[in-house]
A and B are shown apart, each in its own frame.
Chain A
Amino acid sequence: EVQLVQSGAEVKKPGESLRISCKGSGYTFTNYWINWVRQMPGKGLEWMGRIDPSDSYTNYNPTFQGHVTMSVDKSISTAYLQWSSLEASDTAMYYCTRHVVTDPFDFWGHGTTVTVSS
């Protein structure tokens, strides 16, 4: 069974750093890109970017480039989304999803809630 298991909810203060994770199982991890999707409270879905686990090549949405970093440890089938300095506006649900390039997102993680508040 394909699963994308995300790390638990986080509560952080502005300026703090954070790394959330997404562990894939039930499939060959390096065969599918991992995408990250943000959903701010009451808002729509925003594609943040994606990473190819086979070589760590990334594509970032310009809106998020420079503010987040995507990485992967293929030895443990885990992708990461990282912030070095959180802002209150980073408060959102973050989903990881997988896809083959030129295919849609067929499996989604359950989401990680990030709350940034002083």
Chain B
Amino acid sequence: DIQMTQSPSSLSASVGDRVTITCRASHGIANYLAWYQQKPGKVPTLLIYAASTLQSGVPSRFSGSGSGTDFTLTISSLQPEDVAIYYCQRYSSAPIIFGQGTRLDIK
């Protein structure tokens, strides 16, 4: 089965910083990669799909890139409301796989 590995597992950054989270698939998944944000105590929400397409309503400071096995989620200027756990997901076929998550805090 395909595995999705995120790095780092956690990070702390300052408001205004550029933040990058990576997700690596054990096998090529084309661009069937999504990113979700889960704020503390809340339901996960879709941020990005097809590796780089921003979901409607998501701030433009979020962006995604990659194809095949290596993907990145970038926040261009970190805001306090971005404190959350971020998950990547391969969704092209069953089994659908989530990465283990990256916890993002404000320094």
Contact = CB atoms under 8 A, between A and B. Distances in A.
Interface of A: 35, 44-47, 49-50, 59, 61-62, 95, 99, 101-106, 108-111
Given A47-B96, A59-B94, A105-B89, 6 more contacts: A44-B98, A61-B94, A99-B91, A101-B93, A106-B46, A110-B43
Interface string B81-107: 000010101011111111111000000
A59 B95 contact: yes
Contacts, number: 56
B44 interface: yes
B95 A104 contact: no
A102 B100 CA distance: 21
Contact of A105 (B46, B92, B95): B46
Nearest to A107: B46
B44 A104 contact: no
A47 B97 contact: yes
A104 B101 contact: no
Interface of A is mostly: loop
Given A35-B96, A47-B98, A62-B95, A108 B45 contact: yes
Nearest to B48: A104
Nearest to A95: B43
Given A44-B100, A44-B101, A95-B44, A102 B95 contact: no
Interface in B10-40: 32, 34, 36, 38
Q: B-side binding surface: helix, strand, loop or mixed?
A: loop
In the A-B complex, the 3 residue pairs with the closest CB atoms: A104-B34, A59-B94, A47-B96
A46 B96 CA distance: 9
B49 interface: yes
Contact of A103 (B38, B91, B98): B91
B55 interface: yes
A102 B43 contact: no
B98 A61 contact: no
B29 to A, nearest CB: 12
B101 A45 contact: yes
A111 B43 contact: yes
